[in-house]
Structure 1
Amino acid sequence: MANNNSLVGGDNTHFFSDVCKNFDYAAQFTQHNAGLLDQIKSCNSVYRFRFPIRKGDGFEVIDAWRVEHSQHQSPTKGGIRYSEMVNEDEVMALAALMTYKCAIVNVPFGGAKGGIKINPKNYSVGELENITRRYTVELIKKNFIGPSIDVPAPDYGSGEREMSWIADTYATMNPGQLDAMGAVTGKPIALHGIQGRREATGRGVAIAIRECLEVAEDMQKLGLTSGISGKRIIVQGLGNVGYYTAKFLQEFGGVIVGLCEFEGAIYNADGLDVDAVLQHRKDTGSILNYPGAKAFVNSAEGLEQPCDVLVPAALENQITAENAGRIQAKVIAEGANGPTTPEAEAIFYQKGGIIIPDMYANAGGVTVSYFEWLKNLSHVAFGRINRRFEEKTNLNMVNMIENITGISLTPDQRSTLVKGASELELVNSGLEDTMIRSYHEIRQVYKNTEKIDTLRTAAFVGAINKIAVSYKNLGVWP
């Protein structure tokens, strides 16, 4: 790692190359011709641009990118990363991963990604708004954004606020476009967002881990009992993904024994209360000195403490050849994109571990973004039309059963049976079904394809096959 006290990985200028190596390795397990495989692998469109903004009494020139990796499905989809470390190679790699990620969870988008080379902490809210709106204008000018073209979303360093600026800018420059709000997802609820989007990625990671741990055959090989109950978990990163992953894993019965952030790490074998740690950090500015926990000023040491599951949910290149041998977890669930280098992955698998790959594990965000996009195009919230009808139907059924049986239900029992699904419940149900089905699709490829040695390779094989079918259906390939 370049800086052991940070959550920043080392040199990431070969990130796209690493993704392509994984692709090439998986491609040998498919039957597609070389030309089609090259089309699937390549980035279709790479837009690099610069624009000036006023800062203080002067001006600053901002570097930015938008990459559309594949148009086998339309629109393309992917977040916008605000980071002073972002570069073209990283954006290309993340766009490629988005293509495979969408295919893995059966979301009908092509992959895309954006990047703005800034540290948001160095800019005022007004300056960030100017940067975001100008970035959006540049995308509009080149036809790199639109509900049927390319749909951005939040990523590292951006969130609902930035997405609302993008939505407003796009709508302003496209007056009268009925579906303008579908040009970006991850918006605030008040601006046609969707319930459950904020926590979707973390919830998806937690479901992926729970599903992996439920497979008794696989857990037996690791020397673990099946099920998430009582499993010791370390989470790296207390941002949106890491926090919600830890929170839901706790709710599922896991024990959060370690948390890592850029200022250091804490560990308690008896468990940590995630919300209490977050409050402590708000009060003190650091997770360190949390009562009852052992502290590590070197954040990287937190990854190496005893646990069953490690969740790197920060940035890429966190687990490398240098520290992989010291990781004590049996399962690594990649909440972040590319947190495990290929060299580290080989070392970890030699130790007999399982890695739940990023392009599946953190697909909850794009899954719920898909639901938000559908909501924006249909112009009606999930559950709005049918919820009351369902409740009346259920009430009539309950009344009939009580009359026939003579058994009276308690008010709580009646409420549970009668209740219709809200938007949040429908979104969470759809997300859970997506993550569960997709995990077992990947595992089936892993179990049924000779010589496939990792879940990552199996995920790539499944994605390649689905994308190839899309291209063939378009008539591009025989």
Structure 2
Amino acid sequence: MSKKTEYSLFQDVCGFVDEAARHMDIHPGLLEQIKECNSIYKFNFPIRNDDGTYETLTGYRIQHSHHKLPCKGGIRYSDQVDEEEVKGLASLMTYKCALVNVPFGGAKGGVSIDPKKYTVNQLEKITRRYTSELIKKKFIGPAIDVPAPDYGTGAREMAWIVDTYEAFNPEVINAKGCVTGKPLSQHGIDGRTEATGQGVFFGIREAVSVEEDMTALGLSTGLRGKTVIVQGLGNVGFYSAKYLSEAGAKVIGIAEWNGGIFDEKGINVEALKKYQNQTGGFKGYASGEFIEKSKELLTYPCDILIPAALENQITKENAAKIQAKIIGEAANGPVTQEAERILNENGKMIIPDMYLNAGGVTVSYFEWLKNLSRVSFGKLEKRYDQEKYRKLLGTIENATGEEFTDEEKAQLIQGASERDLVLSGLEETMVNAYHAMNKVRQEKNIKSLRTAGFILALERISVSYMDLGIFP
């Protein structure tokens, strides 16, 4: 039996929920209802290849919770996709949305393929057929279930999905809201591309701002000078590393599936990403040391370790070797439950995935709201604000006799763009969620931020069910 078959992300998530429930007074029937998946749709469909051959593919869409609708969760294209993985990812979405107070139930989807082995034409066929299967069973819609990009998919696939949905539902005025992560031309939202990485940055920044917690770890507050190792330089890993570098942290290691780079002097994240795009890997990069077995970088000394690739990366086999003092889970489920116990015993701080990578779903929520309102954020008030600030500056200049430079005026009077408002809303969400989670941890006198996060999420989900009168 393979490791993939043995390991169940869903059972790991349920284990975390049970651990949180030990610190709560929660009805056992309600707990069971919250843990189980509401709907599981597994289907097979054929694809006709360019050479005339046929292939049968397996797709999934799993809705974990209907305590709030629509459900929300990405679509993953990977040959590692199976029912247990999708169930686990769907359940994580439920608790993630509840933790950051985004009004969605959790869902997830996927197709079991390696997208690198298919042409663009084939991927379009697969995506449109996958979407039509969801439409047939009413597993997609702006009020039902709203997918998003995930590992192996992006804005291109979301554009195909919305186009297919609109073709089947020409009378639905809010059809653009059936999926998020779309290109801007298809009513996406400015700031969505980097949202998850930006959220990781905000989350880690808040964690290292708490003096009491940093003192316990033997660290100073703030990001400046802290050493960082990142696993995965995809969308999430790249933007996480980029924003942390810009804030004064030093990225000394980056691991990818085909090798890693280690450089104690610090890595130029954007230059390395450019090299990776050109060559497909890090081998031959001019600076730093190439690490053939890149997973070993997880155990190198650093202040902050950010697994931003796939789940099940820190296990009982390597947990005791982790030297980082803070583990920021940018990926979904990178630390197993057994590994978490070892890390907690060794005095490490784990910033859990259910919080740290919630930037994507938070900005997806903003995109969904934009699609429902059918107007861009800032469009109505931007010019009004600019004129108001211009008059205010004129009043200040008249009263003081001093004049602002043209550059100062331009900076002070500009109204908020859609991107400005999106990032402001994301920052507000991440800041509030971190301190609410940390407050629960302190009040319950527990070590684990993850347990605190699940407690907070369970409290909010429980209220939804109790307000429906389903449980006392």
Q: Tell me the equivalent position of 2:199.
A: 204
Secondary structure of 2:302's counterpart equals coil
The Cα of 1:176 is off from its aligned counterpart by: 1.9
Q: Does 1:138 align with 2:140?
A: no
Match of 1:414 among 388, 409, 420: 409
The Cα of 1:292 is off from its aligned counterpart by: 2.9
Q: Structure 1 residues 106 and 12, CA, compared in 2 at 3 Å: closer, same or farther? A: farther
Q: Provide the rounded CA distance (Å) in 1 between the counterparts of 2:278 and 2:39.
A: 45
1:12–1:317 Cα contact (<8 Å) kept: no
Q: Provide the rounded CA distance (Å) in 2 between the counterparts of 1:12 and 1:298.
A: 23
Match of 2:355 among 360, 363, 366: 360
Q: Provide the rounded CA distance (Å) in 1 between the counterparts of 2:372 and 2:310.
A: 33
**1:81-104 deviation digits (Å, cap 9, x = unpaired):** 101111001100100000000001
Match of 2:452 among 458, 465, 468: 458
Q: Provide the rounded CA distance (Å) in 2 between the counterparts of 1:24 and 1:469.
A: 18
Q: Provide the rounded CA distance (Å) in 2 between the counterparts of 1:62 and 1:161.
A: 20
Match of 1:469 among 463, 469, 472: 463
Q: Provide the rounded CA distance (Å) in 2 between the counterparts of 1:316 and 1:161.
A: 24
Q: Provide the rounded CA distance (Å) in 2 between the counterparts of 1:81 and 1:52.
A: 18
Kindly tell me the number of residue pairs found equivalent between the two proteins. Answer: 470
- Segments of 5+ residues of structure 2 without an aligned counterpart are none
Q: Tell me the equivalent position of 1:248.
A: 243
Match of 1:34 among 13, 28, 38: 28
Amino acid at match of 1:457: T
**1:429-453 deviation digits (Å, cap 9, x = unpaired):** 0001110110001000000014x22
**1:353-377 deviation digits (Å, cap 9, x = unpaired):** 1000001000000000000000000
Q: Does 1:381 align with 2:395?
A: no
Q: Provide the rounded CA distance (Å) in 1 between the counterparts of 2:117 and 2:285.
A: 28
Secondary structure of 1:77's counterpart equals strand
How is 1:329-344 mapped onto 2 (pairs within 5 angstroms)? Answer: 329-344=324-339
Amino acid at match of 2:234: G
**1:212-237 deviation digits (Å, cap 9, x = unpaired):** 11111111111111000111000100
State the identity %: 54
Amino acid at match of 2:443: N
Amino acid at match of 1:249: L
The Cα of 1:284 is off from its aligned counterpart by: 3.0
Q: Tell me the equivalent position of 1:47.
A: 41
Q: Provide the rounded CA distance (Å) in 2 between the counterparts of 1:283 and 1:380.
A: 38
- Segments of 5+ residues of structure 1 without an aligned counterpart are 3-8
Q: Tell me the equivalent position of 1:5.
A: none
Q: Provide the rounded CA distance (Å) in 1 between the counterparts of 2:465 and 2:88.
A: 21
Secondary structure of 1:214's counterpart equals coil
**1:58-81 deviation digits (Å, cap 9, x = unpaired):** 111110110001011110000001
Secondary structure of 1:62's counterpart equals strand
How is 1:269-288 mapped onto 2 (pairs within 5 angstroms)? Answer: 269-288=264-283
Q: Tell me the equivalent position of 2:171.
A: 176
Secondary structure of 1:113's counterpart equals strand
Amino acid at match of 1:73: K
Amino acid at match of 1:371: F
How is 1:295-334 mapped onto 2 (pairs within 5 angstroms)? Answer: 295-334=290-329
Q: Provide the rounded CA distance (Å) in 2 between the counterparts of 1:159 and 1:418.
A: 35
Q: Tell me the equivalent position of 2:56.
A: 61
1:12–1:90 Cα contact (<8 Å) kept: no
Secondary structure of 2:69's counterpart equals coil
Match of 2:433 among 417, 438, 448: 438
Q: Provide the rounded CA distance (Å) in 1 between the counterparts of 2:278 and 2:148.
A: 30
Q: Does 1:267 align with 2:251?
A: no
> What RMSD, in angstroms, separates the aligned Cα atoms of the two structures?
1.1
Secondary structure of 2:441's counterpart equals helix
1:222–1:352 Cα contact (<8 Å) kept: yes
Secondary structure of 1:46's counterpart equals strand
**1:305-338 deviation digits (Å, cap 9, x = unpaired):** 1210000000001111111121110000001000
Question: So what's the TM-score if we normalise by structure 1?
Answer: 0.97
How is 1:50-129 mapped onto 2 (pairs within 5 angstroms)? Answer: 50-55=44-49, 56-129=51-124
Q: Provide the rounded CA distance (Å) in 1 between the counterparts of 2:385 and 2:470.
A: 45
**1:264-291 deviation digits (Å, cap 9, x = unpaired):** 1111111000011112223333212322
Amino acid at match of 2:437: I
Q: Provide the rounded CA distance (Å) in 1 between the counterparts of 2:223 and 2:327.
A: 14
How is 1:180-195 mapped onto 2 (pairs within 5 angstroms)? Answer: 180-195=175-190
**1:377-417 deviation digits (Å, cap 9, x = unpaired):** 00000000000000101111111111112121122222222
Q: Provide the rounded CA distance (Å) in 2 between the counterparts of 1:328 and 1:308.
A: 8
Q: Provide the rounded CA distance (Å) in 1 between the counterparts of 2:293 and 2:5.
A: 19
The Cα of 1:350 is off from its aligned counterpart by: 1.4
Match of 2:156 among 146, 150, 161: 161
Larger deviation, residues 284-293 vs 347-356: 284-293
Secondary structure of 2:109's counterpart equals strand
Amino acid at match of 1:163: M
Larger deviation, residues 145-154 vs 245-254: 245-254
Q: Provide the rounded CA distance (Å) in 2 between the counterparts of 1:326 and 1:13.
A: 21
The Cα of 1:11 is off from its aligned counterpart by: 4.8
Larger deviation, residues 236-245 vs 466-475: 466-475
1:237–1:313 Cα contact (<8 Å) kept: yes
Amino acid at match of 2:86: V
Q: Provide the rounded CA distance (Å) in 2 between the counterparts of 1:218 and 1:453.
A: 11
Q: Provide the rounded CA distance (Å) in 2 between the counterparts of 1:279 and 1:14.
A: 35
Question: So what's the TM-score if we normalise by structure 2?
Answer: 0.98
Amino acid at match of 1:34: P
1:265–1:301 Cα contact (<8 Å) kept: no
Amino acid at match of 1:216: E
Q: Provide the rounded CA distance (Å) in 2 between the counterparts of 1:50 and 1:363.
A: 31
The Cα of 1:12 is off from its aligned counterpart by: 6.1
Larger deviation, residues 139-148 vs 466-475: 466-475
Larger deviation, residues 411-420 vs 79-88: 411-420
